[in-house]
């Protein structure tokens, strides 16, 4: 009887072991005092923080590194800051960060993003029939090649889309932005969402006039649109 119980226990352990020992598909780690990429222009590099958020695959191999902008400007009242800022308080085309793609990956539209360095600018999905139902949210991080995006100036939506389209030579390179909780942890966090999405949640330091605040961000780094 003892042997049979032991055998049963071993069988249960073997059945559960693969799930228990399996590594997460993706993880992140932060690296302090990490200088922004030299491929960025001086103006853009100076606007970046010096902490890199590194996206790793199940083998702990580097996929991408993200730097957040230091203090981009938002347009918000004291009441809005108190209640929690949203993407709508930030002007479209604002530079919110930069990313170094270390291993070829795909964006939200399942487009191939070549290895290289890109700025990330806030974009709003056009309200037209071509885009209806393609994403759960309307805000995106648009990737723009660092060699072509050398200034921090805001730009018109059409100019932004054309600049970002150089990333794929077709359509803007995009990471959909998930809503983020204003009470989220101060440290970057990677969360798995339904549909194979992996979202990086961070707090972006911003300025509203002479007031400092934070804008919660949810950047979908892995995962595609159901229509892609």
Is 157 inside a domain boundary? yes
Q: What DSSP character marks residue 73?
A: B
pLDDT tens track, the chain, 228 positions: 445 554 444 444 334 444 444 557 999 999 999 999 999 999 999 999 999 999 999 999 999 999 999 999 999 999 999 999 999 999 999 999 999 999 989 999 999 999 999 999 999 987 554 545 556 788 999 999 999 999 999 999 999 999 999 999 889 999 999 998 877 778 999 999 999 999 999 999 999 999 999 999 999 999 998 876
**Residue 15, domain member (yes or no):** no
Domain contains 62: yes
Our count of domains for the chain comes to: 1
Exposed / middle / buried, residue 213 (Cβ in 10 Å: 0-12, 13-18, 19+): buried
Residue 207, in any domain of the structure:
yes
Any domain includes 13: no
Q: Is 40 within a domain?
A: yes
- Is there a domain that residue 4 lies in? no
Among 68, 193, 203, which residue's Cα sits nearest to residue 136? 193
Give the global pTM.
Answer: 0.86
Range of the domain at 150: 23-222
| Residue 124 placed within a domain | yes
């Amino acid at each position: 009887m003892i042997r049979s119980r032991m055998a049963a226990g071993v069988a249960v352990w073997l059945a559960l072991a693969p799930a228990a020992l399996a590594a997460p598909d993706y993880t992140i780690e932060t690296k302090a005092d990490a200088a922004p990429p030299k491929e960025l222009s001086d103006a853009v590099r100076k606007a970046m923080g010096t902490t890199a958020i590194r996206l790793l695959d199940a083998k702990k191999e580097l996929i991408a590194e993200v730097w957040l902008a230091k203090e981009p400007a938002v347009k918000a009242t004291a009441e809005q800051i108190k209640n929690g800022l949203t993407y709508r308080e930030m002007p479209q085309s604002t530079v919110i960060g930069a990313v170094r793609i270390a291993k070829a990956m795909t964006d939200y539209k399942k487009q191939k993003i070549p290895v290289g360095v890109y700025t990330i600018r806030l974009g709003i999905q056009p309200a037209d029939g071509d885009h209806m139902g393609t994403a759960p949210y309307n805000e995106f991080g648009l990737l723009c090649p660092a060699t072509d995006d050398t200034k921090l100036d805001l730009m018109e939506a059409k100019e932004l889309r054309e600049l970002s389209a150089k990333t794929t030579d077709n359509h803007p390179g995009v990471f959909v932005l998930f809503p983020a909780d204003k009470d989220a942890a101060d440290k970057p966090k990677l969360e798995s969402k339904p549909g194979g999405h992996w979202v990086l949640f961070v707090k972006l330091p911003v300025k509203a006039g002479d007031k400092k605040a934070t804008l919660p961000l949810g950047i979908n780094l892995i995962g595609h649109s159901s229509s892609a």
